């Protein structure tokens, strides 16, 4: 584990090596995914069932792909009141936060009398991919499906791989709580292909959202254009900016909470104190051995983690913006003061009492966020990702006389004579 000092002469080399190190799965999956998509497009249900058997080791018939109401009730009945209560609280807070994102239609007349505006409309059908297998994430169901429901999406279809034909009960409960209409027991690139192109059993959608492994991410990339996608999500990451007035145990837990996600996850501490940095590292090494996923956390931390010591918080913000992290914790006395210096981050958590782990579940903000520096140009998932804006305009005869000639000239310059004629005919009529 390395401590990098921003004042060292070799800092730039060390920093670039840290943030440029490839963390996404480098496995060449493109050809495999393309072949899967091609077969699902061609053979539909038969290919879907074949790949489900091969990759998920479960044999299903077409009428077993869709989770029945009886299976839903049975799954939900296995949950305790505490489990349901925790998920209900999370759902309530996520719904409240995202309801405030609903945009408004607008319509006005400008000085020429032209009427202009826009109207927002929901996407008709959305497909939600939810990982299964070794890890299931009911929180991801809420984060994706609730904004879609608030946006007014007419139909939400969820796909998730099963384990011996069974799904995680809390994932099923989350789906029903969040407004999912249909749940299919399928996963992998074949599920993405089914959502994009449709089969005899699975209807095609207009947009696909949700995280997945390298094959799912590549499948989303390949079907983009036929359908919309949310983003190509990379490994999770966090930057913690901290002054020495913090509990080292708290911050070491924060760093490990990202490291335990994935061996490719990245956790970085930026602090103004060398002594504090060393105390955090000591606490982190002590905590790591007690984690259920300690092997994953250890590999992530030793391969991708770092502590950067800076001269002041201004320098800390500049370095953080270069990283453009998915999650940014500002564990300083007055976080609002340095927040104004932050431009690139997916989600910011202010103060030592606001760990990112809360944001994964119950704060209400969305945990589907841009990774691998894409916070420079992208935002976290929101209600707007499930809506589209339609522009509106209306021109009358007098307005045509004011702006038509300019359009005619520009069309002529571009050699588009039909464009010019379309406008000139109306100009002539408006002067009669």
For the annotated catalytic residues, the residue numbers are 326-327
Cα torsion angle, 338, 339, 345, 348, sign: positive
What is residue 171's three-state secondary structure? helix
345 token code pair: 């981050």
Helices (H) then strands (E): counts for the chain: 17, 14
CA distance linking residue 408 with residue 401, whole number of Å: 11
Give the number of other CB atoms < 10 A from CB of residue 353: 9
How does DSSP assign 253-289, residue by residue? HHHHHHHTT-TT-EEEEEES-HHHHHHHHHHHHHHHT
CA distance linking residue 58 with residue 132, whole number of Å: 13
- Do 108 and 117 form a contact (C-beta atoms < 8 A)? yes
What is residue 430's three-state secondary structure? helix
Q: Which residue has the tokens 């996608």?
A: 229
CA distance linking residue 12 with residue 357, whole number of Å: 31
**At a CB cut-off of 8 Å and minimum separation 6, what does 111 contact?**
none
CA distance linking residue 290 with residue 283, whole number of Å: 12
What is residue 16's three-state secondary structure? helix
Between helices 30-43 and 188-197, what is the axis angle to 10°? 50
CA distance linking residue 425 with residue 266, whole number of Å: 62
Phi, psi values for residue 39, rounded to 5°:
-70, -40
């Amino acid at each position: 584990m390395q401590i990098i000092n921003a004042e060292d002469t070799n800092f730039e080399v060390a920093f670039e090596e840290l943030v440029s190190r490839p963390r996404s799965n480098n496995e060449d999956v493109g050809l495999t995914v393309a072949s899967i998509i091609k077969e699902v497009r061609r053979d539909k249900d038969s290919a879907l069932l074949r790949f489900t058997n091969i990759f998920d080791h479960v044999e299903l018939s077409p009428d077993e792909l869709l989770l029945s109401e009886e299976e839903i009730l049975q799954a939900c009945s296995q949950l305790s009141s505490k489990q349901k209560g925790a998920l209900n609280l999370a759902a309530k807070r996520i719904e409240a936060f995202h309801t405030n994102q609903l945009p408004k239609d607008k319509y006005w007349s400008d000085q020429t009398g032209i009427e202009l505006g826009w109207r927002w409309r929901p996407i008709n059908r959305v497909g939600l991919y939810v990982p299964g297998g070794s890890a299931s994430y009911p929180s991801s169901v809420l984060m994706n499906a609730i904004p879609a429901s608030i946006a007014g999406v007419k139909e939400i279809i969820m796909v998730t791989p099963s384990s011996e034909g069974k799904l995680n009960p809390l994932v099923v409960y989350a789906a029903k709580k969040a407004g999912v209409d249909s749940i299919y027991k399928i996963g992998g690139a074949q599920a993405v292909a089914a959502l994009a192109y449709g089969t005899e059993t699975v209807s095609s959608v207009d947009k696909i959202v949700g995280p997945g492994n390298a094959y799912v991410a590549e499948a989303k990339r390949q079907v983009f254009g036929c359908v919309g996608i949310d983003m190509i999500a990379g490994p999770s990451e966090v930057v913690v900016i901290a002054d020495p007035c913090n509990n080292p145990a708290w911050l070491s837990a924060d760093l490990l909470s990202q490291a335990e996600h994935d061996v490719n996850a990245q956790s970085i501490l930026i602090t103004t104190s060398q002594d504090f940095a060393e105390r955090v590292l000591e606490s982190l090494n002590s905590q790591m051995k007690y984690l259920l996923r300690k092997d994953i956390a250890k590999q992530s931390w030793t391969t991708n983690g770092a502590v950067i010591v800076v001269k002041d918080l201004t320098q800390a913000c500049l370095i953080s913006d270069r990283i453009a992290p998915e999650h940014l914790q500002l564990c300083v006395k007055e976080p609002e003061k340095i927040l104004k210096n932050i431009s690139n981050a997916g989600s910011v958590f202010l103060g030592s009492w606001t760990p990112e782990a809360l944001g994964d579940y119950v704060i209400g903000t969305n945990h589907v966020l841009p990774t691998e520096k894409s916070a420079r140009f992208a935002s976290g998932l929101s209600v707007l990702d499930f809506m589209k804006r339609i522009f509106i305009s209306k021109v009358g005869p007098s307005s045509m006389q004011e702006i038509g000639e300019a359009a005619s000239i520009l069309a002529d310059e571009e050699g588009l004579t039909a464009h010019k004629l379309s406008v000139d005919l109306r100009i002539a009529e408006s002067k009669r």
